[in-house]
Structure 1
Amino acid sequence: MTRTSQVVVIGGGQAGLAAGYHLRRLGLDFAILDAQTTPGGAWQHAWDSLHLFSPAAYSSLPGRLMPAQTGQTYPDAEHVVEYLTDYEKRYELPVERSVRVIGVHRDGACLRVETDSGTWQARAVISATGTWWRPFLPAVPGRAVFEGRQLHTVAYTRPQDFAGRRVVVVGGGNSGAQIAADLAHDTQLTWVTQRPPRLLADHIDGRALFDAATARRRALDAGHTDTGGVTSLGDIVAVPPVREARDRGLLTARPMFSRLHPAGVEWADGTRAEADAIIWCTGFRPTLSHLAPLQLRGPRGHIATTGTRAVGEPRLHLLGYGDWTGPASATLIGVGRPAREATLEIADLVA
């Protein structure tokens, strides 16, 4: 059986819900297809100690402020899941679970969305699948011969799992710094980064990062000099656990090693560090395999867009993958504006 809708949103995390909010306000017929069994998107799979970079009031989706979490300046992941669950119910967003989208195809005047539970026909599609489901692991020599445990950020849960062990954390971004700070107290930690880590000033949090990303996008759109955006400020937000570990001298980064050996890692000068586990905090790639039938991806794997709209398929919008689909669009506070712009374009398209 084939079902029809003016708009199909693929992904029921924060970006999909923001799109649903604006589609509801515009009075469009839409469905949100989510592969997860419960609300909360990727937040429900985060490690135990993960906290937002911003206070609750500055981490909200359109239409509803995130309530503050008792005893926490920066809410934890569980609080975010509760907020997203409430948001979905409050606006009666039509999320269907557990529905995995297999492929999106051109089909005359519509786009055909094939899923593991049936087919949809839509005038427009919003892809909001994020990046969590496609972790990136660098091709480091010797990775296959290391005899210890290797895991990516997505599989890390709690420091107790590594207590007393020798752990190498790879990555100089926020995830790497937070997980290194998590492990710094009860493990033999080696923190490794591609370049010297740059912590932002203690007073800078997600509010300033969003403002910087927005200013950069406005400058580029106006043809002005690139301001550098968030990267001009630093790489790591000094959230309280990171700040505490830093102030205690527990966060000293070493440069990237050149290869792995069976018992650990080795630098170019022959220096070695033994390890029981290596945690790769090395980022993600956009989850776009469901769009492969449209043949839109460029040489770097991204789909060319104007705003959120795919250049090669104007009925498709991409939302929440990073700055290339809207300033800070991979954040709670940043996804609202590009979601609104995408849905307004879609409203004009289906009118």
Structure 2
Amino acid sequence: MSRGMSIAAFSACAAAGAVVAALLATAPGAGADDGTTTAATTTTGATSTTTAATTAPTTTAPKLSKGPKLIAAGVTIGGTLVGGLTVGEARELVQTRFARPLTLVGGPGANIVVTPKDLGATPHFDQALNLAARVKRPGYLVPLKVEVSRPKLERLVSSLGARFHRDPVDATLKLRNLTPFATKDVPGRRLKEVIAERAIFLALKTQKRDPLALPFDMVEPEVTSGQIGKAIVIRRGSNKLMLYDIGKKSKLVRTFQVATGRSQYPTPLGKFEIVNKWLNPWWYPPAGSAWAANSKPIPPGPGNPLGTRWMGLSAPYVGIHGTPDSASIGYSASHGCIRMLIPQVEWLFTQVDVGTPVFIVSA
């Protein structure tokens, strides 16, 4: 080969190498997508250089989604704990608890159940929930404003007052087997209506639904068993007068022989009481009595047919009195009165009062 041909051939080879190097430099590497490193070689004339190309991986941080807003810990609405709940959850809880019925207790076995709706109660949930959602302080007490229909509440309490009202029962005296005994006195009661209204309203407002005992005033009876004291039983058939001390158990104090009315003027039967007491009484002829016609009043003294003491009964013209005629004692000998020996009637006079019950029986 001539020198000229050799130079031409070498030049052609160099040109071809440059074209191949350019194509390799522009082609993508095999791992470029996963961040691998490739080498590119460039040949210029007889000299070749290697350049390292590095592709770094790209990463994107995930976005955190925001959760629902929660009410601060420990917050309550009208006494109901709503801390840690969403507003929607808190609404459902407070509404459910508010709608619970309220039991009003008027006594053993006397329960009345009412609902907030019965009383026209209107709670302001939105206002309370908005405040609960805004507060940041843990344990904040959010009040629940409640409006109650005053007419409905007053009608309810008035009906409860009538239903549970009880008049007091006085002790009375009765006979059992010819022995007097006092029936049990029973106190009455009256509903404290104003206080009851306030208590019901407060229970609705605070969402308390424990049984609510209604408040009452106790009304004492006018006559208790301990106030009866003494009682007298007169047995007409056997001509006896018996004095009893009335208490939890009746106690016989003393028994006396007496004179009662003869068959023409019988001593009346029934329950009476002492209406007056006279010391050293006058005797006056009973009006309209044939046996006393033309008789004149007799002053106190030894000849007075009433002796020294008189205890008039609620039966007209009948009384317990002394007599100077001791021989009549034990017999049916009077004109309807009950005669006693003078020392005995003077003692009895000190033991009884006006109002003392007197039973006259046929035994």
Q: Whose strand proportion is higher, 1 or 2?
A: 2
TM range (shorter): under 0.3
Structure with the larger RCO, 1 or 2 (CA within 8 Å, 6+ apart): 1
- If the length of structure 2 is used for normalisation, what is the TM-score? 0.17
- If the length of structure 1 is used for normalisation, what is the TM-score? 0.17
